[in-house]
Structure 1
């Protein structure tokens, strides 16, 4: 009968596998598993924000500049300032451009108003 002794390479392999498993678990533990409450980058959040923008455009009959639209959206009662705390002029422009891409017959805020009225 042969007696089995563990060599140095066997011990190194065991410790490597154990430390690898612990490392993977630690990385997994710190990854976000659920969406954050103030995450405004989801599709649902963008659609909700776009609804508020379209509502403000409709209420003002399309007679707005981009900066006026931005201020009125921020002061609207349906605008959630805590959820959309990152909302800025650039984000507004991106959402308006997204609307123009989805509705290629529009090219300005006045066109969006006529589109909503129809």
Structure 2
């Protein structure tokens, strides 16, 4: 039994094989689960807003010194530094704009 494959059939087999290997190699880079330290979830954002409002107090949002506010928030005993390790001046400014 002599099986002869045409060139197009061989090319299709090689293409499918290469496609399967490429998907297998790319799969680990696709985000399939939520990270433990993800600070972009709604719950994490609500917690950050809670800290901002706690330390903002009666001060006006436009006249607040954001650097001092950032230090107050980071030095809070309830602030989870491992979870919010990405929290910086820029994120604080974005939260303040959301509060306006």
TM-score, length basis structure 2? 0.81
Residue 75 of structure 2 is matched in structure 1 by 75
Q: Distance in 1 between matches of 2:24 and 2:48?
A: 37
Q: Distance in 2 between matches of 1:69 and 1:57?
A: 7
Write the distance in 2 (CA, Å) between the matches of 1:95 and 1:29: 32
In 1, Cα distance between equivalents of 2:36 and 2:15: 38
Extract unaligned runs of 5+ from structure 1: 101-118
Q: Which has the larger radius of gyration?
A: 1
1:30-59 alpha-carbon deviations (Å, 9 max, x no partner): 31211111221222211111111111223x
Match of residue 116 from structure 1: none
> 1:81 is paired with a residue of what secondary structure?
coil
- Offset at 1:71? 1.0
Q: 1-side partners of 2:11 and 2:47: how far apart?
A: 55
Q: Matches of residues 1-118 of structure 1 in structure 2 within 5 Å?
A: 5-58=4-57, 61-62=58-59, 64-100=64-100
Q: Distance in 1 between matches of 2:85 and 2:28?
A: 27
Task: Give the aligned length.
Answer: 96
In the alignment, the residues of structure 1 paired with residue 74 and residue 13 of structure 2 have an alpha-carbon distance, to the nearest angstrom, of 58
